[in-house]
């Protein structure tokens, strides 16, 4: 596309943009590009060369003007397109859609635009009463018997991002969208965008605002996940909301379930769209939990719990003298296996009950399922797949996502997971045990598993495609010192197998390496898993694999 054509595209966007901030931003960029500024022309190409597309979590990207950014024009097009999709499949009935939002920049504005456009299109639109965790929106879709739900959030992404997560009700039971719905919705959105001016879209203030009874129902249902035993009174623990929306709802659930209030990381307790104390508001990122670790040291806490900003993920840390700072964050797999064993014990003997996890999560969950006579399902990454596993009583993914109450919420839920972990900790305390000793017990019962991850963040997404192509073209015969026994390319998966842009290597020592692009961030992710006769041996195998993977990626980059 020529510079003049790109400028005309940008000017057409500018004419329909209702947001003064992004209008000013784009107007300045157009002026600089029209004068021949190469950087401005490149910026316009990046903003308008493509559109944000539905991925693992619907729409998600940086805030700013343009079709490749999150803004009021794009959100309006998305809402109108989604409304058209819902009307098309409604069979003449009036679809109901629930809209929620978190504390990020523009989240409420995007939610209001969506509610007005849904109502203007003739849908029954229900806006949640205030900023709330993503799991409350997922719960509300099922609780209200809605046809769909939209949550405005970018979860744990960088501070300048926002997103648009879509759920379907009815037969989908409040799960996130999957194919072919994602492509069908995208086609409706594109038709809306092609029509031109969003000012021509009908809007209405006739949407409803949900009452507090929705939140009350979620609180009651989540408190029932693990009512506090008497031993819970002695727990000392620390909590951080990571500048997000989790604390208000969690605090109410703690009171309802009977758990003691935690020591909180005050600097991160309330919603703050600048996320001023962290570079990335993700408990997995280095440094994100440093304030929580400091609070744990000051209070001599038994453990630390952390939600991400929209509270759909949960991190857990335990005291560990060998770790820097005296605290160790448990891996998502360690938490997943703890919660999976809890669910398996409760479901043992239940016909058709199953455990489920993503294919990049620990193979230990399958061992736990077999031990207790349960079915096991391995899915593609993302809870839109995990939540659909038949008979699931528990599901998880290694990226700190857990589903402990599938009859209530069909998505990962960091708040209900926190209550389940509190229940485990309280029960362990009755036996003079800790979360650390529960992990050791898992190894003795089911075998010792260890996992690791190598992530490569890139500025140019094409690098990821080049690395994946290089690995497919010339598959490695060894990773580190260990021979590769088999290679599976899940782009060519057989019937009944998960299919996606994933490479899976099984090694001669029984370990496993999986490579895939991230669905939500500009990263290439490599997942490492090993099983051994002791925890130390399994950890050693993973450490050696990490070195081998880094060398392999450097060679193929």
One domain, residues 108 and 201: yes
One domain, residues 202 and 244: no
Q: Which of 329, 302, 331, 352 is nearest to 442 (CA)?
A: 331
Report pLDDT for 381: 86
Instruction: Read off the pLDDT band of 57 (50, 70, 90).
Output: low
Q: What is the CATH number of the domain that holds 317?
A: 3.40.120.10
Convert the pLDDT of each residue in 267-320 to its tens digit.
999 999 999 999 999 999 999 999 999 999 999 999 999 999 999 999 999 999
- Report how many domains make up the chain: 4
Instruction: Read off the pLDDT band of 461 (50, 70, 90).
Output: confident
**Residue 449 phi, psi dihedral angles, 5° rounding:** -115, 145
Convert the pLDDT of each residue in 319-343 to its tens digit.
999 998 999 999 999 999 999 999 9
One domain, residues 68 and 159: yes
Q: Which of 217, 192, 176, 197 is nearest to 55 (CA)?
A: 176
One domain, residues 69 and 186: yes
193, 211, 229 - which closes a domain: 211
What is the extent of the structural domain holding 324?
212-446
Model confidence, pTM: 0.94
182, 211, 240 - which closes a domain: 211
Which residues have CB under 8 Å from 320's CB, separation 6+?
Answer: 326, 327, 328, 436
Contact yes or no for 315/422 (Cβ under 8 A): no
Angle between helices 20-34 and 38-48 (to 10 degrees): 130
Convert the pLDDT of each residue in 145-166 to its tens digit.
999 999 999 999 999 999 999 9
CA 168 – CA 149 distance, rounded (Å): 6
172, 196, 211 - which closes a domain: 211
One domain, residues 275 and 380: yes
CA 497 – CA 493 distance, rounded (Å): 6
One domain, residues 233 and 296: yes
One domain, residues 98 and 173: yes
Report pLDDT for 494: 58
One domain, residues 241 and 174: no
Selected catalytic residue, list 107, 155, 362, 511: 155
Catalytic: 455?
Answer: no
One domain, residues 217 and 322: yes
One domain, residues 260 and 171: no
How far from chain centre, in Å, is Cα 454? 18
One domain, residues 369 and 263: yes
Convert the pLDDT of each residue in 494-516 to its tens digit.
555 666 889 999 999 999 999 99
Using a 10 angstrom Cβ sphere, with 0-12 exposed, 13-18 middle and 19 or more buried, the burial of residue 539 is middle
User: Which has the minimum average pLDDT: 48-62, 194-208, 283-297?
Assistant: 48-62
Convert the pLDDT of each residue in 359-381 to its tens digit.
999 999 999 999 999 999 999 88
One domain, residues 177 and 262: no
Q: What is the CATH number of the domain that holds 458?
A: 3.30.310.50
User: Which 3 state secondary structure label does DSSP give 42?
Assistant: helix
């Amino acid at each position: 596309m020529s510079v003049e054509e790109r400028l005309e595209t940008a000017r057409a966007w500018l004419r329909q943009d209702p947001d003064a901030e992004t209008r000013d931003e784009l107007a300045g960029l157009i002026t600089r590009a029209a004068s021949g500024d190469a950087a401005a022309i490149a910026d316009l190409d990046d903003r308008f060369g493509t559109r944000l597309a539905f991925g693992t979590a619907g729409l998600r990207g940086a805030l700013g003007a343009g079709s490749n950014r999150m803004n009021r024009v794009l959100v309006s097009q998305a809402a109108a397109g989604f409304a058209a999709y819902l009307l098309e499949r409604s069979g003449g009935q009036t679809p109901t859609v629930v809209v929620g939002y978190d504390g990020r920049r523009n989240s409420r504005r995007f939610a209001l635009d969506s509610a007005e456009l849904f109502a203007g299109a003739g849908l029954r639109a229900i806006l949640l009463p205030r900023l709330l965790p993503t799991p409350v929106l997922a719960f509300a879709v099922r609780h209200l018997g809605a046809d769909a739900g939209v949550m405005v959030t970018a979860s744990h992404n960088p501070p300048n991002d926002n997103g648009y997560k879509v759920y379907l009700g009815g037969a989908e039971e409040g799960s996130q969208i999957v194919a072919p719905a994602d492509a069908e919705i995208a086609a409706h959105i594109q038709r809306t965008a092609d029509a031109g001016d969003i000012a021509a879209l009908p809007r209405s203030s006739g949407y409803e605002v949900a009452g507090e009874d929705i939140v009350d129902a979620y609180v009651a249902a989540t408190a029932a996940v693990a009512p506090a035993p008497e031993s819970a009174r002695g727990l000392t623990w620390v909590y951080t909301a990571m500048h997000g929306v989790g604390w208000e709802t969690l605090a109410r659930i703690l009171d309802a379930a009977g758990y003691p209030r935690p020591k909180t990381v005050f600097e991160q307790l309330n919603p703050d769209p600048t996320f001023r104390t962290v570079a990335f508001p993700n408990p997995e990122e280095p440094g994100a939990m440093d304030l929580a670790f400091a609070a744990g040291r000051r209070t001599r806490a038994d453990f630390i719990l952390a939600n991400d900003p929209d509270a759909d993920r949960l991190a857990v840390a335990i005291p560990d003298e060998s770790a820097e700072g005296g605290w160790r964050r448990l891996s998502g797999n360690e938490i997943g296996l703890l919660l999976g064993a809890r669910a398996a014990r409760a479901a043992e003997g239940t016909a058709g009950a199953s455990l489920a996890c993503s294919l990049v999560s620990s193979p230990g969950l399958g061992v736990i399922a077999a031990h207790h006579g349960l079915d096991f399902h391995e899915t593609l990454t993302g809870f839109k797949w995990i939540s659909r596993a038949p008979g699931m009583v528990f599901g998880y993914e290694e990226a700190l996502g857990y589903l402990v109450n599938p009859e209530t919420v069909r998505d990962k839920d960091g708040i209900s997971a926190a209550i389940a972990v509190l229940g485990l900790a309280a029960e362990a305390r009755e036996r003079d045990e800790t979360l650390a000793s529960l992990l050791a017990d898992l190894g003795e019962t089911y075998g010792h598993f260890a996992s690791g991850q190598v992530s490569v963040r890139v500025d140019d997404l094409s690098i990821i495609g080049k690395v994946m192509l290089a690995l497919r073209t010339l598959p490695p015969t060894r990773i580190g010192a260990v021979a590769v026994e088999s290679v599976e390319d899940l782009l060519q998966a057989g019937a009944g197998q998960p299919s996606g842009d994933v490479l899976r290597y099984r090694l001669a020592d029984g370990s496993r390496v999986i490579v895939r692009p991230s669905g939500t961030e500009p990263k290439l992710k490599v997942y490492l898993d090993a099983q051994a006769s002791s925890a130390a041996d399994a950890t050693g195998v993973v450490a050696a694999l990490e070195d081998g993977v880094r060398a392999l990626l450097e060679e193929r980059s």
